Amino acid sequence: SYELTQPPSVSVSPGQTARITCSGDALPKKYAYWYQQKSGQAPVLVIYEDSKRPSGIPERFSGSSSGTMATLTISGAQVEDEADYYCYSTDSSGNWVFGGGTKLTVL
Amino acid sequence: EVQLVESGGGLVQPGRSLRLSCTASGFTFGDYAMSWVRQAPGKGLEWVGFIRSKAYGGTTEYAASVKGRFTISRDDSKSIAYLQMNSLKTEDTAVYYCLTGFDYWGQGTLVTVSS
């Protein structure tokens, strides 16, 4: 079955740039989506179609994709950005999958 | 304003069935696919499946972990999507979310499968 691989954790100091990667064999042909989930809350979409930012999402959130890796970048991470982040994409057969999630610590 | 409200969760014994509902408002329900995602306690997100809109045949796709046990359906006249869960296992214990598109999620409903 198709898998998306993320690092379990990323840690940065406030104001630094956080990068969270997501690798998957189908990413060269399929878009990646990124969700932020804070404790006890439903996920929030922060990036769609590799690099587009929904309205209301701060400009410090950006996305990119190259080859089999998609990357979520938080430029100037803030304490309130501490959360779990999940990438989401599909394989060629109509099945969707989440990455295992990355816990971002900002301190 | 788009709203999705899940209901029907609760405690159920292994092997039994449960049906979740997702009541939608604020958009033309029949025009959109509806998805279900779950999250076991302390674990990551897991895609469960989705149903396409009638314009795309109303067909369904499921994760391998639930295929043959779970069924997604929709009632466009009531703006409700359903998740019928049969032969439940303890590992199906999770918060179940419905979503439309990629950006609208409900708040989830907890399903606990335990004897």
Two tokens at B14? 């292994």
- Name the residue in chain B with its Cα closest to that of A84: B44
Mean pLDDT of A18-27: 97
Query: Using CA atoms, how far apart are residues A66 and A34, in angstroms rounded to an integer?
Result: 15
Q: Does B97 touch chain A (CB under 8 A)?
A: yes
pLDDT in tens, B2-49: 999 999 999 999 999 999 999 999 999 999 999 999 999 999 999 999
Q: Which of B31, B29, B23, B26 is nearest to B4 (CA)?
A: B23
Q: What is the pLDDT of residue B53?
A: 97
How near does any CA of chain B get to the CA of A77, in Å? 22
| Identity of the residue numbered A77 | A
pLDDT in tens, A53-84: 999 999 999 999 999 999 999 999 999 999 99
Query: Using CA atoms, how far apart are residues B56 and B77, in angstroms rounded to an integer?
Result: 17
Task: Give B103's contacts in chain A (Cβ within 8 Å).
Answer: 45, 48, 54
In total, the C-beta contacts within 8 angstroms joining chain A to chain B are 42
With CB atoms and an 8 Å threshold, state whether A96 touches B44. Answer: no
Question: Closest partner residue to B46 among A48, A94, A98, by Cβ?
Answer: A98
pLDDT in tens, B60-100: 999 999 999 999 999 999 999 999 999 999 999 999 999 99
With CB atoms and an 8 Å threshold, state whether B44 touches A86. Answer: yes
Task: Please list, residue by residue across B51-68, b when 16 or more beta carbons sit within 10 angstroms of its beta carbon and e when fewer do.
Answer: bbbeeeeeebbbbebbee
Q: Which of A44, A43, A5 is nearest to A21 (CA)?
A: A5
Query: Using CA atoms, how far apart are residues B18 and B113, in angstroms rounded to an integer?
Result: 10
Two tokens at B40? 């076991």
